[in-house]
Amino acid sequence: MMNQYRTHYSKDVKKKDYNQSIKVAGWVEDIRNIGSIAFIILRDKKGTLQITILKKQNPDLFKKLVSIPRESVISVRGLCKENTQVRNGYEILPDQVEVLSYAATPLPLGVVDKVEAELDTRLDNRFIDLRKQDKQAIFKIRNIILAAAHEYLRSQGFIEVHTPKIIASSSEGGTNVFRIQYFEKEAFLAQSPQLYKQTLMATGLDRVYEITWYFRAEEHNTRRHLNESTAIDIEMAFIKNEEEIMKILERLVYNMCKKAEEKCRKELDILNKQILIPKIPIPRITYDEVIQKLQEKNSGIQWGEDLGTEDERLLGEIMRENNEHFYFITRYPLETKPFYTMPCKNKYSRSFDLAYNGIEIASGGQRIHDVRLLEERIRRCGLDPKDFDTYLKTFRYGMPPHGGFGFGIERFLMQLLDINNIRECILFPRDRTRLKP
RNA sequence: GCCCCGGUAGUGUAGCGGUCUAUCAUGCGAGCCUGUCGAGCUCGCGACCCGGAUUCAAAUUCCGGCCGGGGCGCCA
């Protein structure tokens, strides 16, 4: 007995339950009233089932059932009968129906209607949109991917941490931050846990990870940006160079893909997608090689410039021709990277991006642990070391070599499942204009 | 921040100066139908984002506003 409303989920009814009285509960997805017989499709967490009722056997109950508005929540007790004509192989012949919640009509959005609504309408009514199994599948896969990340990172000695999202100063420069009122002070929402992760490298925890929010006040309006997104952020100490970080990242990605492939068969089927599991090692291409490849394809990009969207797409295409979907871009020019990035041979840096079919999904690298070099880099980037007092202090009393990365969860999901709008990959997206629900 | 595009029933659309009393589908309501599973059939309900302007006449043209989508930049 699961609870007073339900003894079985739709997909848990087995042969041994046939000819038994069972209880099911869920949402009324559809009612097909043929006249003297009616079929009610009930949807629960695991799928759908059919309730069949004959008018002449129970006229009152018949009338009650067929007049329930779609998407109402009901609990039904009845005899479970085998029937090969029905998709599940069984149907329920009800003797008791309890309406737990009546749905108003018309629905703001149909769950099984023949017309698909636009994303904007769907997001406005996300609680109904998410009743659709294909929309739900994305979040079930997301769950498995994150479970895989936790499992893998913990197996590698990382501990999970949580750092503040309300912060005193804009951490890195670069992207715009949201300003908020913190009692009598001005504060900001963290655009990344970068500086805190580094601070933790001074503590001896050595390996930390955080599944975290990024808040970014950029007024972008694209299919691949959110103003509130999530990431897997890691930082590790006592590294020799950035290669060690990439080794963790590629294995993390491998494990996430593998677990999704193993455990999300049903969801992948619903979405009609297949997962490409990366071959390890994931190829590393240097920034210089990238520029060369792009120039061969007549891109106007010059050495020293960051890759534009078009360049990223083109590179993705070039790589795909060689059957490579994942690839690292390494050794970016120091100029293009934030102040904390470890330089390499003057003009290069020990940084990398991980791209997946032409879109950046992670970026990271080795950080500077020498405080004097760090101060110099802050100045070179046109910032004032005084503004980084709290941060710089952590480097003055013993800071090991370290590095890490930030990995965008929605970006990854979007590429993994070939979804063309990032808003599909987060339950309640925040974008340039959307603040609710 | 720059640049495009769009707002028509609950949902998705057609119409792009008069023929709009606005199309079709879906939905909703009523009815018929004993095996539906995109059920079917009959009847009905329901909409031109807002404000100005042009015109004999505006859903349609112009201006402003509001709301949305997308591209670039930036980035995950």
Instruction: Report pLDDT for A2.
Output: 61
Q: Residue A186 pLDDT more than 90?
A: no
pLDDT at A173 over 60: no
Residues 33-52 on chain A lying near strand B, CB distance under 7 A: 33-37, 39, 50, 52
What is the band of A368 on the pLDDT scale with cuts at 50, 70, 90? very high
Asked if pLDDT for residue A5 goes beyond 90, the answer is yes
A310 CA vs B16 C1’ separation (Å): 35
Written as six digits, the tokens of A88 are: 């599940």
Query: Which sign, positive or negative, has the C-alpha torsion A165, A170, A171, A173?
Result: positive
Q: Mind listing the pLDDT tens digit for each residue in A391-437?
A: 999 999 999 999 999 999 999 999 999 998 999 999 999 998 888 88
User: What per-residue confidence (pLDDT) applies to A284?
Assistant: 95
- Which position has the higher pLDDT, A299 or A151? A151
> What percent of chain A has a predicted confidence (pLDDT) above 90?
75
The enclosing H or E element of A231 equals strand A228-237
Task: Report the catalytic residues of A.
Answer: 216, 218, 224-225, 360, 363, 411
Residue A407: the pLDDT is 96
| The pair of three-digit structure tokens given for residue A231, joined into one six-digit string | 């990431």
Residue A129, CB, strand B, below 7 Å? no
Q: Find the DSSP H helices in A224-286.
A: 242-263, 265-271
Residue A25's pLDDT is 96
What's the CA A26/C1' B76 distance, rounded, in angstroms?
Answer: 37
Strand, coil or helix: A377: helix
Summarize pLDDT for A241-293 with one digit per residue, the tens. 999 999 999 999 999 999 999 999 999 999 999 998 999 999 999 999 999 98
Residue closest to A287 by CA, chosen among A334, A346, A252: A334
Q: Is the CB of A108 under 7 A from strand B?
A: yes
Contacts of A168 (CB under 8 A, 6+ apart): A185, A187, A188, A390
Chain B bases near protein CB atoms (7 A cut-off): 1-3, 10-13, 25-30, 32-40, 67-76
Task: Domains for chain A: give ranges and CATH numbers.
Answer: 10-101 (2.40.50.140), 127-425 (3.30.930.10)
ipTM score assigned to the predicted complex: 0.88
Q: What are phi and psi of A169, to 5 degrees?
A: -135, 155
The Cα A351–Cα A362 span in angstroms is 11
| pLDDT at site A172 | 59
Distance between CA atoms of A233 and A212, rounded to whole angstroms? 7
Residue A300, CB, less than 7 Å from strand B?
Answer: no
Span A42-67, mean pLDDT?
A: 93
User: With bands split at pLDDT 50, 70 and 90, how would you rate the model's confidence at A76?
Assistant: very high
Q: Residue A171: is its pLDDT beyond 60?
A: no
| Residue type for position A236 | M
Confidence of residue A193 (pLDDT cuts 50, 70, 90): very high
Contacts 24+ apart (CB under 8 A), A222-227: A223/A420, A223/A421, A223/A422, A223/A423, A224/A359, A224/A411, A224/A414, A224/A422, A225/A422, A225/A431, A226/A410, A226/A422, A226/A423, A226/A426, A226/A429, A226/A430, A226/A431, A227/A430, A227/A431, A227/A432
The whole-number average pLDDT for the span A332-352 is: 92
Q: How many CB atoms lie within 10 A of CB A398?
A: 10
Between A3-17, A41-55, A171-185, the lowest mean confidence (pLDDT) is in A171-185
The residue that leads in pLDDT, A214 or A168, is A214
Q: In the 183-202 stretch of chain A, whose C-beta falls under 7 Å of nucleic acid strand B?
A: 192
Strand B contact with A113 (CB < 7 A): yes
Is A379 a residue whose pLDDT tops 70?
Answer: yes
